[in-house]
Homo-oligomer: A and B are copies of this chain.
């Protein structure tokens, strides 16, 4: 006989579905993931996915929104007054890098479906207008100070953020390839990733020297 999980307003299948969907979307992308797979991974009936999120696209958007939000929020550590600019920057680069480690595939996920889903551009536009523009202004002010004091070369906040995101995201974009090509084990991969993290910090700090 079937064992049915306890259910209540707070202990239902909504979160398991969200989590299963997140993992599957990360691994395979939006189109390649079916709602029946999501349900099966979450441990529920396929109809339930639609009960909670109505459509697959809806579910995807919910997940995407939270992910982008998380990545953006990291950059706000830039104005910790207790540390120097270089120290803050180093921390942000490393935190951002580590966020990608945490779920190695979300970089693919985020970039993957940009062209696919009409709603994504709306979501990102909203997030950028609400949060990124504010962040860039803050960072620009800090950079201007540093530039004036001749501690770094002339550079815009957008360029600096682009560089950080570029370097970090690519590590995990290329992760499946690199791991496969170099034919290394878990430990070896971990080592390479940590070395790359150091090199990315180096690259960025060096590139800012006046």
Binds B, one of A52-60, A142-150, A196-204: A196-204
From B29, B208, B209, give the contact of A31 (CB < 8 A).
B29
CB within 8 A of A153: which of B29, B169, B170, B206? B206
CB < 8 Å: which of B108, B129, B165 contacts A111? B108
**Cβ of A167 < 8 Å from any Cβ of B?**
yes
In the complex, A87→B27 CA distance in Å?
40
Report whether B166 and A170 are in contact in the complex, using a CB–CB cutoff of 8 Å. yes
* A80 cross-chain contacts in B, Cβ below 8 A: none
Taking a contact as CB atoms closer than 8 A, the residue among B121, B153, B181, B199 that contacts A176 in the complex is B121
Rounded to whole angstroms, the CA-CA distance of A105 and B116 in the bound complex is: 12
**Identical copies of this chain, number:** 2
Tell yes or no: A207 within 8 A of B by CB.
yes
Question: What are 22 inter-chain pairs, A to B, with CB distance below 8 A?
Answer: A28-B31, A28-B115, A29-B29, A29-B112, A29-B113, A30-B32, A105-B115, A108-B114, A111-B111, A111-B112, A124-B177, A125-B180, A132-B181, A153-B206, A155-B199, A159-B203, A162-B174, A163-B203, A203-B203, A203-B207, A206-B208, A207-B207
Report the count of interface residues on A (CB-CB < 8 A): 47
Q: Is A85 an interface residue (CB 8 A)?
A: no
Given contacts A30-B32, A202-B207, 7 further A-B pairs with CB under 8 A are: A108-B111, A108-B115, A159-B199, A162-B196, A166-B170, A169-B170, A209-B209
